[in-house]
């Protein structure tokens, strides 16, 4: 249904969802502690990350200019951590890294979608928002990536012990699958993937701020 909404309305809904995530995370962190942050943000977080899959489709059909090589790993890794780690293994949900994760993600997405939403609505964006759009990642990308990697690592013993999502031999299809080794593979992909995406964003920042004549 979201795919059929107008672009400004869709962007507004995305910003609203991420604002909910940020508000609930900060409020819960202050009032009850980091152990309760996940429970407070679970539903809006899952909604926001699942809806982000549409960005991949938009990139494939050319509705957005972001290359699929940058969009796919970012959205894929976030969706994996949201559903494949946090939702699947509740033992990880009370860790402090959940707080740094959702705060990093939510601020990044609020700024990004506010930038695109305002540009779509009025045709331009103020220089301060342009600067935020291409500068907040300098801090929030490392904190977000560190949180993602940390939570996957923390989940490893629970993945191995539970054998959740594993397929063991023998079976009719003569096929086996171990989710533990899948998690190790995902961790390995962060090694080349993270520098690639960060380098891409640095190049985009230089291009955008230079074009707008904003002092970096």
Token look-up 């490392």 returns 142
Token look-up 């990642």 returns 137
Residues 6+ apart with CB under 8 A from 114: 15, 129
DSSP 3-state assignment of 167? Answer: strand
The residues that are catalytic are 141, 148
DSSP one-letter code for 84: I
The CA-atom distances, in angstroms, between 94 and each of 25, 38, 181 are 12, 7, 24
Residues 6+ apart with CB under 8 A from 7: 120
Tell me the C-alpha distance between 64 and 11, whole Å.
Answer: 13
Cβ atoms of residues 211 and 162 within 8 Å: no
């Amino acid at each position: 249904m979201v795919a059929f909404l107008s672009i400004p309305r869709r962007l507004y809904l995305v910003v609203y969802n991420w604002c909910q995530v940020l508000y609930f995370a900060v409020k819960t962190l202050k009032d009850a502690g980091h152990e309760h942050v996940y429970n407070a943000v679970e539903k809006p977080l899952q909604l926001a990350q699942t809806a982000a899959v549409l960005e991949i489709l938009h990139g494939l059909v050319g509705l957005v200019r972001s290359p699929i090589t940058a969009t796919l790993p970012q959205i894929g890794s976030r969706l994996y951590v949201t559903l494949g780690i946090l939702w699947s293994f509740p033992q990880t949900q009370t860790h402090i890294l959940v707080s740094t994760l959702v705060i990093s993600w939510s601020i990044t997405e609020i700024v990004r979608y506010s930038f695109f939403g305002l540009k779509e609505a009025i045709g331009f964006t103020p220089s301060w928002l342009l600067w935020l759009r291409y500068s907040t990642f300098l801090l929030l990308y490392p904190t977000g990536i560190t949180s993602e990697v940390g939570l996957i690592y923390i989940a490893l013993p629970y993945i191995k012990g539970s054998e959740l999502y594993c397929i063991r031999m023998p079976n009719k299809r003569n096929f086996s699958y171990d989710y533990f080794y899948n998690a190790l593979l995902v961790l390995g992909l962060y090694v080349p993937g993270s520098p690639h995406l960060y380098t891409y964003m640095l190049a985009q920042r230089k291009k955008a701020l230079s074009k707008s004549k904003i002092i970096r």
